[in-house]
């Protein structure tokens, strides 16, 4: 989450905060899909590996090297959407409201 403050797009499996923060080609990219997180073992590893290399080859690397404007837009959206929402202030506020006032 801290990387988003510096405009770093994320590329990760859809778990934790990235389930909410991932907007494909806007804030970053996912490895696999929501269902792949639920599976375990060799099947998941193979699917995630294929997804990682496919995403790198077809999305991340072409944008980084050949479409500077698109890459800068993704960086800007990463800051604007993820860094502004996924921060300590919101986390503490939600914790206080849900833990003490519900």
Per-residue pLDDT tens digits for 4-34: 889 999 999 998 889 999 999 999 999 988 7
Least confident stretch, 26-35, 40-49, 79-88:
40-49
Res. 62 pLDDT band, cuts 50 70 90: very high
The set of long-range contacts for 35-44, using a CB threshold of 8 Å and a minimum separation of 24, is 37/13
Structural domain total, the chain: 1
Domain that holds residue 50: 2-100
Helix residue ranges per DSSP H, the chain: 2-5, 18-21, 34-38, 42-55, 61-66, 68-77, 84-85, 88-100
Cβ atoms of 65 and 47 within 8 Å: the answer is no
| Phi and psi torsions of 67, nearest 5° | -135, 75
């Amino acid at each position: 989450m801290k990387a988003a403050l510096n405009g770093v797009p994320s590329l990760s499996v859809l778990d934790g905060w990235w389930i909410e923060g991932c907007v494909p080609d806007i804030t970053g990219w996912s490895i696999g899909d929501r269902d792949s997180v639920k599976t375990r073992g060799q099947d998941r590893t193979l699917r995630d590996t294929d997804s990682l290399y496919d995403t790198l080859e077809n999305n991340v690397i072409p944008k980084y090297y050949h479409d500077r404007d698109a890459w800068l837009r993704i960086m800007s959206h990463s800051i604007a959407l993820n860094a502004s929402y996924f921060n300590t202030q919101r986390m503490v506020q939600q914790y206080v409201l849900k833990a003490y006032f519900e």
